[in-house]
Amino acid sequence: MSRSAKISRRTAETSIELYLDLDGTGKSEVGSGVGFLDHMLTLFARHGRFDLALRCEGDTRVDDHHSVEDIGICLGLAFREALGGKRGIRRYGDAALPMDEALILAAADLSGRGMLVYALDFATEKIGSFDVQLVEEFFIAFAANAGLTLHLRQLSGRNSHHIAEGAFKAAARALREAVSIDPELAGEVPSTKGVLA
């Protein structure tokens, strides 16, 4: 059974084509139009062992906000579609990830209820030309559309690049665990309600 999804989304602000395979090897072809986000999504795919292909044409002449948010939406929708009825998944995952002086905690629950609890404190407003506020915007859109409860907490860190990179890597590793199949569940949905939606 393939746990993959293709998402196409077009608005007046962005045109996005995205492919996701949850059972991949971590390979990616990412062209978001936002250089720093390309770097983060490449890391996300590698550390989650997800195969990811993304092309986005966005109104980056305005700023990067629309592209970053809409890619978060599409990636979330792809996770939701690829997971289907969520039978047999572990559902929960967590990771404490060191990135030099930064230490980031990520905890994920594929609950069907989209929520982000975000406690990252960047020391700068920009990483290169990338607005650090867009890290939160990406994860808000991603969690809401994936039906994911995601906690991201910074335990230490001073370098903004390290904090952001730690967050994407930690989220990927938590999700890698959460989407994995638990053979002890024998195909059951991991909820007393019988559904994760």
Query: Mean pLDDT of successive 10-residue segments in the chain (197 residues)?
Result: 93 97 98 98 98 96 95 98 92 97 98 96 96 98 98 98 98 98 76 60
Half-sphere exposure of 181 (CA within 13 A, CB side): 14
Contact 54, 29 (CB under 8 A): yes
The verdict on residue 190 lying in a domain is no
Q: What integer pLDDT is reported at residue 194 of this predicted model?
A: 60
What CATH number did the domain enclosing 130 receive? 3.30.230.40
Structure-token match 């109104």, residue found: 59
The verdict on residue 69 lying in a domain is yes
Contact 53, 88 (CB under 8 A): no
The verdict on residue 50 lying in a domain is yes
Q: What integer pLDDT is reported at residue 184 of this predicted model?
A: 81
The verdict on residue 32 lying in a domain is yes
Half-sphere exposure of 157 (CA within 13 A, CB side): 26
Q: What integer pLDDT is reported at residue 191 of this predicted model?
A: 58
Domain count, the chain: 1
Query: Cβ contacts of residue 78 below 8 Å, gap of 6+?
Result: 5, 6, 7, 18, 19, 20
Q: What integer pLDDT is reported at residue 196 of this predicted model?
A: 56
Write out the E strands in the chain.
Answer: 4-10, 14-21, 28-31, 51-58, 92-99, 102-109, 115-119, 126-127, 130-131, 149-156
The verdict on residue 73 lying in a domain is yes
Q: Which amino acid is at 154?
A: Q
Domain range for 127: 4-185
Q: What integer pLDDT is reported at residue 45 of this predicted model?
A: 98
Q: Enumerate the β-bridge partners of residue 107.
A: 94, 151
Instruction: Enter the tokens of residue 48.
Output: 């989650």
The verdict on residue 197 lying in a domain is no
The verdict on residue 192 lying in a domain is no
Chain centroid offset of residue 183 CA = 25
Q: Report how far apart, in Å, the C-alpha atoms of 43 and of each of 37, 63, 125, 160, 167 are.
A: 10, 23, 22, 16, 10
The verdict on residue 193 lying in a domain is no
Q: What integer pLDDT is reported at residue 190 of this predicted model?
A: 61
